[in-house]
Amino acid sequence: MTNLQHIVKEEHVGTRLDKLLTDLNEDYSRQQIQTWIKKNDVTVNGEYVKANYKCKLNDEIEWEIPSENEQTFVIHPELIPLDILYEDDYLLVLNKPKGMLVHPTQAVQSNTLVNGLKNYTGQLSNSSGDHRPGIVHRLDKDTSGLLVVAKDNHTHDQLQVQFQAQTVTRIYEAIVEGVVLHQSGIIQAPIGRNPKNRLQMAVVTEGKDAETHFQVLKRFSNHTHIACTLKTGRTHQIRVHLKYMKHPIVGDEVYGKISDYIQGQALHAKQLSFVHPQLKQKMTFTAEPPEEFEKLLQLFQSKS
């Protein structure tokens, strides 16, 4: 079992307990969270409460999650539309929509990218395990954009070598809170688990080296549109680094605050470049941000 803890902050005062835990555990459904609460796997200030409990400032919430090796399930193919930009016998590149998990979890076993991939093709690598066929790298549920999927283990392993060697180019676009004063810059700050909240990553001295390059694309009255290039690939790296820079991504409820304008963070993986493991050619793909992202830019422009 994994034991987790969270202290309720001001922005979540009055939020239902099951809703807050669903936001904090993006790999699990609200129904699963409610089951934890009913089974007394969740406490608030050491007491068992109901799912509709309204959180109060500084409430100490503790809960348990079964470890991955305790979890077994079958991935069912599902007819899910896939926005495929490129495909050959070895790999495919697609544009993942916002709000979709990359692979199933114990609690969420349908409507994930992998469910769609299993229906689309029977040719997927298993180097990342049977529950993550074809998945070489991930995007957060509420991050849209480009992913490369491997069809065989040799291609998968060769792509992973490129990710580990930091030779894959990944450029994201984000809309952040506040006005970023510098036109461009480099954030070099180590990332590891947040010692005060094990669900979060944070800049910590004992963390792994992490480097993000950013460039301002457009400034608004109270927000900034930026591009970020990953030089390393730590969990939640861009989200953590931008919070560290005091410009959290709009709508990022984990590292920023709830937004009135958008649900989930305004972050999009726009460009992906790598050397094809079989063709030995550099390949570059681009996917424009979703309509929701563009509408947010237009809204902030109109307010400026």
- Among all residues, which ones are annotated catalytic? 140
In sequence order, the 6+-apart residues with CB closer than 8 A to the CB of 128 are 135, 136, 156
| 3-state SS, residue 92 | strand
Dihedral Cα 127, 128, 131, 132, nearest 10 deg: -100
Q: How far is CA 218 from CA 70, 100, 194, 244, 266, in A?
A: 47, 28, 31, 20, 15
CA atoms within 13 A on the CB side of 213: 6
Q: Residues 7-11: contacts with CB within 8 Å, 24+ apart?
A: 7/58, 7/59, 7/60, 7/61, 7/196, 7/197, 8/55, 8/56, 8/57, 8/58, 8/59, 8/60, 8/61, 9/57, 10/57, 11/257, 11/258
Is residue 255 within 8 A of residue 240, CB to CB? The reply is yes
Cross-strand partners of 191: 203, 208
Calpha distance 51→60 (Å, rounded): 15
